[in-house]
Copies of this chain bind each other. A is one copy, B any other.
Amino acid sequence: MIKAGIMGATGYAGNELVRLLMGHKDVEIVWYGSRSYIDKKYSEVYQNFFKLVEGRCLDDNMEELAKEADVIFTATPQGFCASLINEEILSKTKVIDLSADFRMKDVSKYEKWYGIPHKAPQFLEEAVYGLCEINRDQIKKARLIANPGCYPTCSTLAIYPLLKEGIINPDTIIIDAKSGTSGAGRGAKTDNLFCEVNENIKAYGVGVHRHTPEIEDQLGYACGKEVRINFVPHLIPMNRGILITAYASLSKKVTYDQVKEVYETYYGKEWFVRILEKDNCPQTKWVEGSNFVDLNFKIDERTGRIIMMGAMDNLVKGAAGQAVQNMNLMFGFKETEGLCQIPMCP
């Protein structure tokens, strides 16, 4: 039984971490960190935990927490983790950072896209990008995990195999993404009010969304060269779920079976990645509440392009679930422990 602390426990990702860790047989939560609700009972902030969680919210004190916890999850705003982390903390505990602080190796790229200075560039080299299906071995040995962003997780898993195998042209990749509103967080903003989101759809961050360079980095690793993509996210009137629809030109003529074979090679043994049967399009409903990513593709011979599709729950595989999966790998637990939720429908 290990002890886990959560910093930023009162955001939506933090709430989901609590839900998942409570069902994990090897973990005890010892710290519900929250700047906004210090001393308030956690179950008063999230009443789904009424009678289930007795703890109160504590200040976000990483030094203190490092003494108590075997693992710290930081589900905090960009820059927060980097501003606190240090060698002493990492010598005592493992850190899984759900923010973007350690996802990109190039500090200038981070500072350009996020518009803030990086306070701990010395750990960029060491940090492991926690996309479990791609980087499993490094994750097992890591002290510091950069938990991937929601869009990058779904996008990379869908595109990586075809790019790595040279099936698609890296210069032609376009990702049109759609996300439920929990991805926007629990901050009180007019734009995220029910009446503004309901019965509405819009693109946002066109050409400037911060997940763009993160995805480009991962795709670059796949094909061994720098990649530039178009990435356009859209806000959808639903709570949970991400769907990505990605387009690319085929580098060579391939059949359905050949592409299917590639995906099976990469993911056939992965529990959390499901390659759907032919012509079944991924739907966010079929993965809701679970750590699954559903993938499929369609070759369009008329245009010589392939359409790659992926669906997942942005709060699970796109945040808290993947964080727990990383923890499982780091501590030698069964990879699926605590993550066996069956998707809930309707």
Contacts and interface: CB of A to CB of B under 8 A. Distances in A.
Interface of A: 12, 15, 19, 22-23, 46-52, 174, 176, 178, 180-182, 186, 188-190, 192-204, 206-207, 228-230, 232, 234, 236-241, 243, 245, 247, 274, 276, 280-290, 294, 298, 300, 302-303, 305, 307, 309, 311, 340-346
14 contacts: A15-B345, A19-B342, A23-B340, A46-B345, A48-B290, A199-B199, A199-B240, A199-B285, A201-B241, A203-B282, A207-B298, A230-B300, A236-B236, A344-B344
Given A195-B186, A241-B201, A346 B12 contact: yes
Contacts of A285: 48, 196, 199-200, 202
Q: Which of A200, A287, A290, A303 has the most CB of B within 10 A?
A: A200
Contact of A342 (B49, B186, B288): B49
Given A190-B188, A200-B241, A247 B234 contact: no
Contact of A287 (B23, B48, B311, B345): B48
A204 B238 contact: no
A249 to B, nearest CB: 9
Contacts of A239: 194-195, 198-199, 346
Contacts of A50: 274, 276, 286, 294
Nearest to A304: B228
B247 A230 contact: yes
Nearest to A179: B201
A170 to B, nearest CB: 11
A247 B245 CA distance: 13
A186 B195 CA distance: 8
A25 to B, nearest CB: 12
Given A178-B178, A234-B243, 20 more contacts: A52-B342, A174-B174, A176-B232, A181-B194, A181-B198, A186-B190, A198-B198, A198-B239, A199-B288, A200-B283, A201-B236, A203-B281, A206-B281, A206-B307, A206-B309, A207-B298, A230-B300, A230-B307, A232-B245, A240-B346
